[in-house]
Amino acid sequence: MSAVEVAGLQVRAGAVTILDGATAHVPAGAVTAVVGPNGAGKSTLLRVLVGALPAAAGTVLLSGRDLGTLTRRDRARELALVEQDSPAEVSREVLDVVLLGRTPHRPRWGADSTSDVETAAAALDRAGATVLAGRDFATLSGGERQRVHLARALAQEPHVLLLDEPTNHLDVAAQLDVLALARTLAADGVTVVAALHDLNHALRFADHVIVMAAGRVVATGSPLEVLSEDLVGEVYGVRAHRVTAGGHELLVLDPA
Ligand SMILES: Nc1ncnc2c1ncn2[C@@H]1O[C@H](COP(=O)(O)OP(=O)(O)OP(=O)(O)O)[C@@H](O)[C@H]1O
């Protein structure tokens, strides 16, 4: 199981500071929710973790190893990212899109093995997308694409799975499926990190929460402790009320 330690991450784009010394602990084999207002730096943090974006300063340790010292291929065996609104592949069969997840595991110029195809099929099954296997990816709906991208990341068999708004485009039942899958993966030892806008999803499905605002981590801890009325009110500029319904602690929000 792989814990992630993020220390002092700085990301800049020209004169703009996007991450301003973000520091956080991500526990191994658990679901961590990254929450915070639009523009807080959630996606940027996930993109730095996966190596898609360079940091100007700071370190990311994966089970004590500096991620910056890993090759791209080794990093891809460790971490997979499902981006929000990933670009649509040009006309390509869904199974082939999922098989792209096997790239870091096969010889550089090798063809897909039977075991790669089996792993991809199992990933499609876990993502609830088996019926899409033979479809042209370009013809899928937003929610269907989201599931296929999740399947591709699962086929990568990462130790750390990063999900940027994984419930985006999904209907309410499909949202619960994906969040339940995150919990199952964590129970299997995968370290799951999900940027979430729905604080009630974070309350219900996360073991750990990282709250970001203006490029910094402003609070971390268990969802019930961290997502207090005061903190949510302050960070989002809303009036927050914690209530219990259906056996769950929930947040009801009003404009400030
Ligand atoms: N290349 C860039 N140039 C300038 N600003 C950028 C660049 N890339 C990102 N930003 C800014 O950095 C901030 C953080 O962006 P990021 O996408 O990480 O936020 P987020 O918390 O994921 O937001 P959202 O909830 O809206 O998805 C935003 O204000 C964004 O406009």
Residue 35, strand partner residues: 211
CATH number for the domain including 102?
Answer: 3.40.50.300
* Element of type H or E holding 80: strand 79-82
Which residues constitute the domain of residue 223? 4-255
Which pLDDT belongs to residue 89? 63
Query: What is the ipTM, given to two decimal places?
Result: 0.97
pLDDT tens digits, 62-98: 988 999 899 999 999 999 999 987 666 678 999 999 9
Mean pLDDT of 194-222: 97
Report which protein residue has its CA nearest ligand 1's atom 18. Answer: 41
- Beta-sheet pairing, 160-164 with 79-82: parallel
C-beta of residue 101 within 8 angstroms of C-beta of residue 120: yes
Q: Taking the model in full, what pTM does it have?
A: 0.95
Structure tokens at 59: 């370190």
63/43 Cα distance (integer angstroms): 22
Report which protein residue has its CA nearest ligand 1's atom 1. Answer: 13
Q: Calculate how far, in angstroms, residue 46's C-alpha sits from the geometric centre of ligand 1.
A: 12
Which of 34, 44, 163 to probe ligand 1 with, by most ligand atoms within 8 A of CB?
44
Domain count across the chain:
1
Which of 42, 50, 236 to probe ligand 1 with, by most ligand atoms within 8 A of CB?
42
Report which protein residue has its CA nearest ligand 1's atom 13. Answer: 39
Can you tell me which residue has the tokens 């619960």?
176
Pocket, ligand 1, Cβ cutoff 6 A: 13, 16, 18, 36, 38-44
